[in-house]
Amino acid sequence: VSPSLAVTRIGELVTNDSELGAGPLGLIREAAVVIDGGVIVYVGPSKSAPAADTEVIASERCVIPGFVDSHTHVVFAGDRADEFVARMAGRSYATGGIASTVETTRAASDAVLLANARRLVDEAISQGTTVIETKSGYGLTVEDEARSLRAAAECADEVTFLGAHVVPDEYARDREAYVELVVGAMLNECAPLAGWCDVFCDEGAFDEDESARVLAAAREKGLGLRLHANQLAPGPGAQLAARFGAASADHLNHLDPDDIAALADAGVVATLCPGADFSTRARYAQGRSLLEAGVTVAIATDCNPGTSYTTSMPFVVALAVRDCGLSPDEAVLAATLGGAKALRREDVGRLVPGCRGDLAVLDAPSHVYLAYRPGVRLVDVVVRRGEVVFPAALKSDRRDEVGVGS
């Protein structure tokens, strides 16, 4: 049983619960959070907080719920730095680059795949992420998808099968046979290893019929559904997400008003991936239009070697504010509670009694600084399930006070 932990003298606490505090972020001043057995047991004035085994003194700074990164692809080997350089010199992004990561991933051992994924997850944690989703999708054979999912389950909270990422080169002349493989043998092997199925429904990936077949087969297996949709071109992805009642449609750079209305009506979360837009010089998703239509918005890193090689939620929060039309409040909400909703998780993304004890202490007086001071390390201490998971020096189970600033 983990010892109890109190985070005290919080200058600004973001609870994400408007009944607990001010505004949509539920802000409380001079607050404390106490966690016992990994679960939050107290949120309220610092001076009335119950005692705990360990105390983290926030020294009047800001505490936010841990980020929920609901869309990453961290199970892979190799990199694509050359492709990035070429793109910055003017070449545009195409899905063909995925083949190069598929080749290096297939050639890597299970141990290397897991070590690579773990390194990226640790990097994410050090920047305030406490819940992370990750996908297969660089194996594209039954065995390589299955072992990618096993690696994912070792290091991530939520695991997604993405056999329908692209058609691998060996099936280029027979797409139909690859879709058959995905909905047949691959899904049989992979469904027990995942909670979700994702499909890349876009130009250069899968069309409407192919995507619908994969989604229907995955639903049949009991998997939750999510899509990569309308990233590279206008298309049927968003409508398909609505039709299938997917938890989330991700990217959404090319939407028309009907697509937005369909997402709103079906209650599909719109997950923005502005890191991909940054690194591919693409048009940014119009988060403002989605919010105005009443769509729930999430922000994720989309960490992958092709389009968005970042694990930093603070970075994508800054981009969402700068380029997707979100206010700092909306962006922080999208990166925490929005991500939780995209994963249909009720236990994370908020700091309220009964939720998981996941939070980040910022070296800043306010959550606004996440966007206002881009590229600066502002995440000082990260707590997950009531345990300090960053920085490493504080990870020990010391029962005394852990000061984090003056």
Residues touching ligand NIG: how many (CB under 6 A)? 12
Footprint of ligand NIG on 78-97 (CB under 6 A): 97
Q: Could you say whether residue 231 binds ligand NIG (CB under 6 A)?
A: yes
Q: Is 64 in the site for ligand NIG (CB under 6 A)?
A: no
CB of 198 to ligand NIG, least distance (A): 9
Instruction: Examine residue 228 and tell whether it contacts ligand NIG (CB under 6 A).
Output: yes
Beta carbon nearer to Fe ion, 157 or 302 = 302
Q: Of 105 and 239, which has the nearer Cβ to ligand NIG?
A: 105
| Nearest-CB residue for ligand NIG | 306
304 binds ligand NIG (CB under 6 A): yes
Residue 237 Cβ vs ligand NIG, minimum distance, rounded to whole Å: 10
Check residue 230 for interaction with ligand NIG (CB under 6 A).
no
Q: Which of residues 97-126 bind ligand NIG (CB under 6 A)?
A: 97-98, 101
Cα end-to-end span (Å), the chain: 31
- Nearer residue to ligand NIG within complex by CB, 16 or 101: 101
Least distance to ligand NIG, CB of residue 226, Å: 11
Nearer Cβ to Fe ion (93/369): 93
**Nearest to ligand NIG of 254, 384 (CB atom):** 254
CA atoms within 13 A on the CB side of 324: 37
User: Minimum distance from CB of 352 to ligand NIG (Å)?
Assistant: 32
Closer Cβ to Fe ion, 83 or 302, answer by number:
302
Between residues 12 and 302, which has the closer beta carbon with respect to Fe ion? Answer: 302
Contact status: 306 vs ligand NIG (CB under 6 A) = yes
Is residue 286 involved in binding ligand NIG (CB under 6 A)? no
Site string for ligand NIG, 257-276 (x = CB under 6 A): -------------------x
For position 69 contacting ligand NIG by CB under 6 A, the verdict is: no
Tell me which residues touch Fe ion (CB under 5 A). 302
* Contacting positions for ligand NIG (CB under 6 A): 97-98, 101, 200, 228, 231, 276, 302, 304-307
